[in-house]
Amino acid sequence: MNEVVIACQTLSDELELAMQETGCRFPVIWVESDYHNDPSQLRTKLQEEIDSQRNIDNILLAYGCCGNGLVGLRATGANLIAPRTEDCISMVLSQPGEKFERLKQTYFLTKGWMEGSKSIFVEYDRALKRYGEQRTKRLFDVMLKHYNYFMLIDTGAYNPADCLSKAEGLARNTGLKLVVAKGDIWFLKKLLTGPYDQDFCVIPKGESVNISHFGLVQKELSHQVL
Amino acid sequence: MNKKEQLLIKHVEQLNEEEVLKLSDELLKEGMAPLRLLDLVNEGMNRVGKLYESKDYYIADLIMAGLIFKQVLELDKMTAHFRVKHNNKIGKVVLGTVTGDIHDIGKDIFRGMLEANCFEVVDLGVDVPKEVFLKKCEEYQPDILGLSGVLTNTVDTMKEIVDVFKETGVRDKVKIIVGGNHLTKEVCRFIGADNFANDASSGVRICKKWMDGINESERRVIDNG
């Protein structure tokens, strides 16, 4: 079987570690994390990458449903396989076999997330330059008014200490509390190794991703094992 | 369009808060109709939206645009105009971010634009459970229910809300619009909403079109009655 991974840059540390631990060294096409903010553009970009693959059996998508950015993708030349999960946060915080409950009032961070070119840190620095301290405070009071915590997720793929001071700085400036929580890369490891059971959306070549694949409806019908 | 009008649009586009407020006040004092001023500010807001789409602007800029817009609406002559027009509301909207989600930047911009377009809006806030949507719709009898969300799983939640309206036999009494940049035609159909919007302006356009239809059919009933 020929496999290729298409992955969001946000998950680069986690995917690298998963490949290291599983020994599955498939070629990886990295897609910029900026697409997070625009599911339509993400869909277009992913479709371009999918369409450009040749002689591949399985395309492994290191993505969640990502704002329905994956819904509508066509498996034009190979099967598509993606974790059946909402996004990269649920991907690294969920436990096998357990329903993921997203913590409320929490803004999630990982090193990959913090390094994104449109991350909240970039937003903050740019706002300071453009609007000054006082206006930036007003803007972030609005932006984060329903949040109480920044949660740095320790996925095991990077040293959280490297991110702490930066995260603490933003928490201080925005009046949020910083907490650290343990995450996991089991989902990415299973994406590389299989088996592709109920934890995955499997779209056979020639078919398209629809909302049912991500478990929104008729879970049992969309479940296939390759 | 004269130079001052063009300048106002430019200031909104460039998010120059003080200049927008100063010039708006000046134009109103010179006799500009509040609705004309609103059109100009709306045009500036549309340009901000485009700059966000083209990735030149950030989320903080959208928030700044929302703050500027709100302050323009709060200028004395604007509030006076809309207060007088209170009895001429074109429709009523109950609005909220669905349970499990606390994102409200888009919802708040949508709310502001609806109010500016003569809608009465009951904003239920964020993380609103389906029971509350149902109860508030029974209480306020809106023409339109707006369900907002950003997280992927809000699709499920939005469907549950529409379903509860169906189960209780009140689905046909209200138009339902869902809003969020994760929504597509297919997802909208799955949810069972009447329409969807990926941005505030298109949401307002849909609501206005609906109200044109509703108000027109009410007029016909009165004329024929």
Domain ranges of chain A: 3-94+185-222, 106-182
Tokens in use for A147?
């949040």
Which residue among B60, B102, B181 sits closest to A123, beta carbon to beta carbon?
B60
Residues A87, B150: C-beta atoms closer than 8 Å: no
Residue A142 with chain B: CB contacts under 8 Å: 63, 66-67, 105
Residue A131 with chain B: CB contacts under 8 Å: 60, 64
Contact assessment for residue A78 and residue A53, using Cβ atoms and an 8 Å cutoff: yes
Model-level pTM greater than 0.95? no
Average pLDDT over residues B132-141: 97
The pLDDT value recorded for residue B87 is: 65
The span from the CA of A181 to the CA of A166, in Å, is 17
The span from the CA of A215 to the CA of A70, in Å, is 13
Residues B182, A142: C-beta atoms closer than 8 Å: no
CATH architecture of B89-224: 3-Layer(aba) Sandwich (3.40)
Which residue among A105, A142, A211 sits closest to B102, beta carbon to beta carbon?
A105
Per-residue model confidence as pLDDT tens digits over B171-214: 999 999 999 989 999 899 999 999 999 988 899 999 999 999 88
The pLDDT value recorded for residue A220 is: 32
B141 Cα to chain A: minimum distance (Å): 28
The span from the CA of B25 to the CA of A144, in Å, is 30
Residues A140, B58: C-beta atoms closer than 8 Å: no
* Predicted confidence (pLDDT) at residue B90 exceeds the cutoff of 50: yes
Residue A143 with chain B: CB contacts under 8 Å: 59-60, 63, 105
Domain residue extents for chain B = 3-84, 89-224
CATH superfamily of B3-84: Methionine synthase domain (1.10.1240.10)
The span from the CA of B190 to the CA of B182, in Å, is 13
- For the purposes of burial, counting CB atoms within 10 Å of the CB of A225, is it exposed (0-12), middle (13-18) or buried (19 or more)? exposed
Task: Give me the percent of chain B exceeding a pLDDT of 70.
Answer: 96
The pLDDT value recorded for residue A98 is: 84
Q: Using the Cα atoms of residue B74, residue B72, residue B78 and residue B126 in order, give the sign of their dihedral.
A: negative
Q: Which residues pair with B93 in a beta bridge?
A: B121, B144
pLDDT in tens, chain A (226 residues): 899 999 999 999 999 999 999 999 999 999 999 888 889 899 999 999 999 999 999 999 999 988 889 999 999 999 999 999 989 999 999 998 888 888 889 999 999 999 998 899 999 999 999 999 999 999 999 999 999 999 999 999 999 999 999 999 999 999 999 999 999 999 999 999 999 999 999 999 999 998 888 874 433 333 333 4
**Mutation choice for B interface testing from A103, A139, A144 by most B CBs within 10 A:** A139
Per-residue model confidence as pLDDT tens digits over B24-45: 999 999 999 988 998 899 899 8
Q: Is B50 on the interface with A (CB under 8 A)?
A: no
Q: Using the Cα atoms of residue A48, residue B202, residue A141 and residue A139 in order, give the sign of their dihedral.
A: positive
Residues A146, B126: C-beta atoms closer than 8 Å: yes
Count the helix, strand and coil residues of chain B and give each as a percent rounded to the nearest 5. 65, 10, 25
The span from the CA of B130 to the CA of B111, in Å, is 20
Q: Which residues pair with B97 in a beta bridge?
A: B148
